[in-house]
């Protein structure tokens, strides 16, 4: 069994990125990432190493959804995108683009957004996305396609 510290080293950045795009909030993404690994550490169930990334994403998604159910309102999205190597103009343009993409993502239904992020950011196989979300393979493909089309439509406005 791989230790939690090793899992953290290998997957924390991916879990954080997934949580950030899922939630749109850097602080919440950090909390979700931390809580995900705490849950893994305290879990009595063994981790199947073939599906560890999907397992971690499932935990992060469930924590996010649980948090949404417990909140009466959504938090304001933070527009903080540091890029030390770019000029002020490039940073402003990148920040603006990041903000538009994030706002567009937040307009998608949560399950569609989750499926798209798993596929686009982490190149997770469709079969694993279907397992994580508990839906059919065909539904995953349709959700990802529709999310891409909707994002293109939203961004084109």
CATH number assigned to the domain comprising residue 40:
1.10.1740.10
Question: Pick from 75, 98, 114: which residue ends a domain?
Answer: 75
* End residue of a domain, out of 19, 42, 75: 75
Kindly report the backbone phi and psi dihedral angles of residue 16, in degrees, each rounded to the nearest multiple of 5, phi listed first.
Answer: -60, -45
What is the domain-level CATH number for residue 141? 1.10.10.10
From residue 145, how far is each of 109, 113, 119, 121, 149 by CA, in Å?
Answer: 13, 11, 11, 15, 6
Q: pLDDT digit string (tens) for 114-133? A: 899 889 888 889 999 999 89
Q: How far is CA 28 from CA 15, 19, 20, 154, in A?
A: 12, 8, 7, 25
Distance CA 43, CA 39 (A): 6
Task: Please tell me whether residues 96 and 38 are part of one structural domain.
Answer: no
Question: Is the whole-model pTM more than 0.85?
Answer: no
pLDDT tens for residues 15-71? 999 999 888 889 999 999 999 999 888 887 777 667 888 889 989 998 988 877 666
């Amino acid at each position: 069994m791989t230790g939690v510290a090793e899992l953290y080293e290998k997957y924390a950045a991916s879990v954080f990125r997934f949580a950030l795009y899922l939630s749109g909030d850097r602080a919440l993404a950090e909390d979700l990432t931390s809580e995900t690994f705490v849950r893994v550490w305290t879990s009595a169930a063994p981790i199947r190493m073939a599906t560890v990334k999907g397992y971690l994403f499932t935990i992060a998604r469930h924590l996010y959804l649980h948090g949404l159910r417990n909140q009466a309102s959504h938090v304001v999205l933070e527009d903080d995108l540091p890029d030390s190597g770019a000029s002020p103009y490039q940073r402003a343009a990148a920040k603006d683009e990041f903000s538009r993409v994030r706002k567009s993502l937040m307009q998608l239904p949560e399950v569609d957004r989750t499926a798209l992020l798993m596929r686009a950011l982490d190149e997770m196989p469709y079969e694993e996305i279907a397992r994580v979300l508990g839906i059919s393979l065909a539904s995953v493909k349709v959700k990802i396609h529709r999310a891409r089309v909707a994002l293109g439509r939203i961004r084109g406005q």
